[in-house]
Amino acid sequence: MGAESGGIKPPRQLLDRWGRVAKDLRISVTDRCNLRCSYCLPEDADTWIPRQDLLTPREFGRLAQVALSLGIRKVRLTGGEPLLRPDLEEIIRKIRQAFIEADLPAEIALTTNAIGLATRIDSLVEAGLGRINISLDTLDPDRYFALAKRDRFSEVAAALEKLPGSGLDPVKLNSVILDQKSLEELPDLVRFALRRGFQWRAIEFMPIGPLGGSAAVRPHASDIFRRLQECFTLTSIETDPAAPARRWNVAAGSDYPAGIIGVIASESAPFCASCDRTRLSANGRVYSCLFSLSFVDLLAPLRQGASNEELAQLWLSAQAAKPAGHTEITAERRTYSLSQIGG
Ligand code: SAM
């Protein structure tokens, strides 16, 4: 064992027993976060991945090589909060290098709360970042503090003003629709996004995390759609069956341009049947599904000198066991946060 260049014979695919093929890799680069959104990471959260178990940029690059050899074509970095990694640019560089070596166009995206982004946009773009999703549930600083338990709204706002023209395209603003207040604020969020040339997406609350048990009483995609229709002129856009969002073109209004919005209805219209994702946690565990507690560990074999071929075999076995859908969620899973696997 030991060669980083262990030969891998393409074409191979991350196929599961239901016939789905993974092409989209979500990588969590850390489980830590600088916010404490009550529905995601409670204030008393105290179980973190030990620092020495966090994958290094070089290790992320190596696992990206393996994933690309198995048919992965897009990589999204998430967390926890990925910008908490001071070496995020280096992680992106290593993953881009893996795309280049595989002779593939680099498709690297980031999901972030945008705290600290304002000063790093240029370095992230220079490293190879192509697209970005910003999570922002409200434009009201008081509500932001109430939801996220941290007074950081002004830093997010500063980053959002710097994104137009930054080279990141598209920029998507993602808002979890938590309650009646979220529904009321939804038109402001849409207009805010369209004025800056961003896409906007509503995320239906998922039964996962500390408040997971309350999903049934949260607004559903039908409530979100009704509210959108009340406020905007929408034309449906044909979407890729594997895409999680249902999308619409929004006609321009008197004080905002035309643009694109979407609703991710993971609960009321789960897209599990066409899910094309596989997930790598910050400590090198492959999860085939966001809602699954089972994983295959790559960290130990990687650090013990496994070849790319051996790592590929482990990844194939993890993906083969992907559950059919969210119905297999256990009560135990609900107590875990999205920030642990990578939302
Ligand atoms: N820190 C980064 C961010 O804020 O985008 C990445 C990780 S965060 C876990 C990713 C997304 O998951 C955020 O948009 C967050 O709002 C969302 N999220 C967390 N728990 C959720 C839940 N129960 N239902 C729907 N979305 C959730």
pLDDT digits (tens, 9 = 90+) for 108-148: 999 999 999 999 999 999 999 999 999 999 999 999 999 99
Look at residue 329 and tell me if it is in a domain.
Answer: no
CA dist., res. 308 & res. 17, Å (int): 23
Q: How many whole angstroms separate alpha carbon 115 and alpha carbon 85?
A: 12
Helix (H) or strand (E) holding 102: none
User: Are the beta carbons of 171 and 197 closer than 8 angstroms?
Assistant: yes
Cβ(182) – ligand 1 distance below 6 Å: no
**Which of 40, 149, 211 maximizes ligand 1 atoms within 8 Å of its Cβ, making it the mutation to test the pocket?**
40
In a domain, 336, yes or no: no
pTM: 0.94
Q: Which domain holds residue 66?
A: 11-323
**Structurally, how many domains does the chain consist of?**
1
Q: How far apart, in whole angstroms, are the C-alpha atoms of residue 296 and residue 310? A: 13
Query: 334 C-alpha vs ligand 1 centroid, how far in Å?
Result: 14
For residue 133, give the ligand 1 atom closest to its CA. Answer: 5
User: Tens-of-pLDDT digits for all 343 residues of the chain?
Assistant: 444 455 556 579 999 999 999 999 999 999 999 999 989 988 888 889 999 999 999 999 999 999 999 999 999 999 999 999 999 999 999 999 999 999 999 999 999 999 999 999 999 999 999 999 999 999 999 999 999 999 999 999 999 999 999 999 999 999 999 999 999 999 999 999 999 999 999 999 988 877 777 777 889 999 999 999 999 999 999 777 667 889 999 999 999 999 999 999 888 877 888 899 999 999 999 999 988 888 999 999 999 999 999 999 999 999 999 998 876 565 665 666 777 777 7
Q: Does any ligand 1 atom lie closer than 6 A to the CB of residue 160?
A: no
Q: Is the peptide bond before 219 cis (omega within 30 degrees of 0)?
A: no
Name which of 127, 3, 133, 1 is nearest 65 in CA terms.
Answer: 3
In a domain, 338, yes or no: no
Q: Is residue 318 part of a domain?
A: yes
| CATH number of the CATH domain containing 255 | 3.20.20.70
162 is a domain residue? yes
Distances (CA, A) of 102 to 36, 64, 71: 39, 10, 11
Residue 330 lies in a domain: no
Question: Is 156 within a domain?
Answer: yes
Please tell me the distance from the alpha carbon of residue 63 to that of residue 276, in angstroms, as a whole number.
18
- Distance in angstroms (rounded) separating the CA atoms of residues 314 and 327: 25
Distance from the alpha carbon of residue 259 to the mean position of ligand 1, in angstroms? 23
CB of 338 sitting under 6 A from ligand 1: yes
In a domain, 224, yes or no: yes
CA distances from 282 to 95, 215, 252, 258, 331 (A): 14, 27, 41, 38, 24
